[in-house]
Structure 1
């Protein structure tokens, strides 16, 4: 007994310090919380308030709106106007082309129009909150009055290379030269009048090149400055029809997508589990089995692909057929449970600026994984850049204590359909691939992860045993893991596609 006690004491002397170190480490690790709710961008609000305050300093200086601009300035919004109908003769449109105008709301019944407007306004407001930030705000530099300046007049020049300048109004006492040209100049004896005139300068792009910028040179005496004008079409909002009854439920908001190959038994288990909790949700299946079997049932769309086309190609096909606002991606060997609450995923996507939110996958052993990662890059040299992949997350999401912001999550996630199609899945990853999608979306996807939304994984234990594998399991393993297939893996893709020369990961 005495020997046993000595062993117990020795074990405690070793274990207790280790526990104390772990507790200290956990307590010293600070987790920050971030607000990603779809509220106002505070920096954007501050910039707009500053611009408004600056904009009233010269209100006392009179101006005259030009006749050519009065009509557009008087309207509080755009108007679609067509040409007046002419003589109705054969081939008149070919001989004398006319502009037609269509009022889109005219196709709605009066009883449905108000609901349609309410739905569209709600979606548009959400879109604006997600996509417009302080980077889109106008920033004005305060006018700096020099201590001394020419008493015979002050001249301001603006020069562009991809567009022309004009004025919407003219201020008394200011001379303007170069309207409609790439170089415009203003001369006046009053700095205040000049600043007032500059408020009415317009720029029109004449050499269109999308996603670029014109650099405008601003010159006043010895003072010179430059600023950029973005040249692009504005981002197009894309909304989804909530259905004939304007219902806002899971079945009208979410489509479940998956890719299958050979494993029809596991696929059927997935479908059965989905139907237990979501009987009317649409399931889209991409299938590249050599001899496909029919997968039928209500709200099931089964798409057959060329044999062995691959994992990411199947993802692209499945995602391309989604007609709802959100898509839930699941593997074909997952199982829905009472913890697989899609409503929670929809709630966080509806209320935050996140584009994608992942859940957790529970193995039969009880181990649950979220596969949260932080991904970053370092600029390199001609040999390439550096890619860094670390387990972890950035911040906890305010209002959702079980959810965090990350860069990559597990293979169970819900996303905005348009955003996931925008990134896409590289079809060169035919057998194995995951992080490549999140790396492709690193600059455009806002990713979250919630560990209280859980889906189960079908047991792998039997298939891991040589005598427990079915012929289907053996064939599936051969196609997925056989290196002789000659397909690219993620690391090959990083080098050839992304200009990376090295990767670090934990």
Structure 2
């Protein structure tokens, strides 16, 4: 008999240890699958609160307003274009079919790779917080629709939970999560609690007021470390259900610049001037001389990819040498990476400061508005000035990609600054918040020619304006017929306009097609 009892005890102990081991393995937060999934966008969350278009009301007569219908976002952007004044002005077709820059033999393979990368991009940037969830009317459930946030592995009270009913029978409320657990910070009389500390919490009571009081004490704890995502919480009663998201993310860490309070703007403390030079040391020295005339102590950063380099002497000048012909945007990245001030001013190496190149005006706009970048005007010797105001938009397409739409102009004037306008792309003379430009960066594939690409990459990240009353001169490009070009001038022309066109003639279009997933560029 004792032997039987001993065996039973051993067997019970083994079972207990096995149960503990299984529960330990099932606890969340130890092994997390963050690999790319084969499915594209999860659909299971869309069933809550959504119906087919029309549904039970499809029999009711209606009249379509075509003016509104045309403004609706659709998944079939149009690449058909018409000849416009802008396309004639810039000498380009109204539509550029980007896939045609690839050979027919490679086009399919490139398209397949682009689609794969696009799906990876969606999985990196989308979460359940992007899923459309609708709280139906006449539901007894009250819950937060937006704005609930928890830091990774931390705990919060869930606000806004409530049950609206006058029923006196036994009521039950259930909450279910996938990336965290529920608990209560206090227990209320006449309320039964099941699942505290687990992913599923059940509260029941025959007293509505008591149940609602208990709901005020419900907490959520994130247990799976995967910041910048969201947990979808399912809230259910016996006949109703709803869903809401809890964002899981670290707080945004500010990047502040320690600039002492001062009357007026000390440009030397606030602004660094950055430029890139290649085979134009004479123009660069002219630029520096003009800067020093108005701003003698502002720091100038030079990215230099010449072969026969020359040291630019002078105070407050940082010159960084790069491999020969490393490139236009690579040089921009280098120069911008070394800026320590709150703002940076980008200038080409053949610009010339003038009396109306007032950097204080640009700083004033950036200090008083939410703009991230403000451009100016570039004035040619002929007194013609260019501001390059363009509005950019992306129309959704299908599997072939989206459409980049380019319009000349701006959205509206900046209040308090009558000569400044909000736009999406400006000329190659601009002042910007340093950390925002560093966030967008410059694609180093672009070697000799490029401009629009930076603003396309910054679309949605940069809030851009342009002020026509801040001018900078452009060194004359007019060459007298009797003046012979120097060896460096001839080399510059050959490498930028001749060899550069042969090597990189379709580079920008290839980048637009694959990197940005566009199928065409349409000029409006």
TM-score by length of structure 1 reads: 0.69
Q: Which residue of 2 aligns with 1:267?
A: 284
Q: Distance in 2 between matches of 1:164 and 1:247?
A: 54
In structure 2, the CA distance between the partners of 1:157 and 1:475, relative to structure 1 (3 Å rule), is same
Q: Distance in 2 between matches of 1:207 and 1:488?
A: 45
Q: Which residue of 2 aligns with 1:360?
A: 377
In structure 2, the CA distance between the partners of 1:143 and 1:206, relative to structure 1 (3 Å rule), is closer
Name segments (4+ residues, structure 1) moved above 6 Å: 138-142, 243-248
Q: Which residue of 1 aligns with 2:104?
A: none
Residue 405 (1) aligns with residue 422 (2): yes
Residue 462 (1) aligns with residue 472 (2): no
Q: Distance in 2 between matches of 1:144 and 1:159?
A: 16
Matches within 5 A, 1:61-80: none
Q: Which residue of 2 aligns with 1:383?
A: 400
Counterpart of 1:331 (choices 334, 343, 348) is: 348
Compute the displacement of 1:487 (Å). Answer: 6.7
> Which deviates the most, 167-176 or 471-480?
167-176
Q: Which residue of 2 aligns with 1:283?
A: 300
- Give the total of aligned pairs: 370
Q: Which residue of 2 aligns with 1:503?
A: 521
SS of the residue corresponding to residue 322 of structure 1 reads coil
Q: Distance in 2 between matches of 1:238 and 1:247?
A: 23
Q: Which residue of 2 aligns with 1:373?
A: 390
Gaps of 5+ in 2: 1-141, 143-153
Q: Which residue of 2 aligns with 1:479?
A: 495
Q: What do residues 370-398 of structure 1 show as CA deviations (whole Å, max 9, x unaligned)?
A: 10111001111111111101111111111
In structure 2, the CA distance between the partners of 1:258 and 1:415, relative to structure 1 (3 Å rule), is same
Q: Which residue of 2 aligns with 1:494?
A: 512
Q: What do residues 123-143 of structure 1 show as CA deviations (whole Å, max 9, x unaligned)?
A: xxxxxxxxxxxxxxx997795
Q: Distance in 1 between matches of 2:392 and 2:159?
A: 35
Matches within 5 A, 1:118-157: 145-146=164-165, 149=167, 151-157=168-174
Q: Distance in 1 between matches of 2:188 and 2:505?
A: 68
In structure 2, the CA distance between the partners of 1:441 and 1:186, relative to structure 1 (3 Å rule), is same
Matches within 5 A, 1:22-171: 145-146=164-165, 149=167, 151-171=168-188
Q: Which has the higher contact order (CA 8 A, sep 6+)?
A: 2
Compute the displacement of 1:213 (Å). Answer: 1.5
Counterpart of 2:469 (choices 436, 448, 452) is: 452
Q: Distance in 1 between matches of 2:440 and 2:428?
A: 16
Compute the displacement of 1:196 (Å). Answer: 3.4
SS of the residue corresponding to residue 462 of structure 1 reads coil
Compute the displacement of 1:211 (Å). Answer: 2.4
Q: Which residue of 1 aligns with 2:23?
A: none
TM-score by length of structure 2 reads: 0.66
> Which deviates the most, 236-245 or 207-216?
236-245
Q: Distance in 2 between matches of 1:339 and 1:174?
A: 74
Compute the displacement of 1:188 (Å). Answer: 2.6
Q: What do residues 180-220 of structure 1 show as CA deviations (whole Å, max 9, x unaligned)?
A: 21111222333343333333322222222232221111112
Q: Distance in 2 between matches of 1:487 and 1:466?
A: 32
Q: Which residue of 1 aligns with 2:202?
A: 185
Q: Which residue of 1 aligns with 2:70?
A: none
Gaps of 5+ in 1: 1-56, 58-68, 74-137
Q: What do residues 202-254 of structure 1 show as CA deviations (whole Å, max 9, x unaligned)?
A: 22222222322211111123121111122222211011233799996211111
Q: Distance in 1 between matches of 2:474 and 2:268?
A: 23
In structure 2, the CA distance between the partners of 1:353 and 1:244, relative to structure 1 (3 Å rule), is closer
Q: Distance in 2 between matches of 1:238 and 1:435?
A: 27
Q: Distance in 2 between matches of 1:237 and 1:248?
A: 22
Counterpart of 2:217 (choices 179, 200, 203) is: 200
Q: Distance in 1 between matches of 2:214 and 2:485?
A: 80
Q: Distance in 2 between matches of 1:193 and 1:227?
A: 23
> Which deviates the most, 482-491 or 223-232?
482-491
Matches within 5 A, 1:2-17: none
Compute the displacement of 1:338 (Å). Answer: 1.5
In structure 2, the CA distance between the partners of 1:155 and 1:404, relative to structure 1 (3 Å rule), is same
Q: Which residue of 2 aligns with 1:225?
A: 242
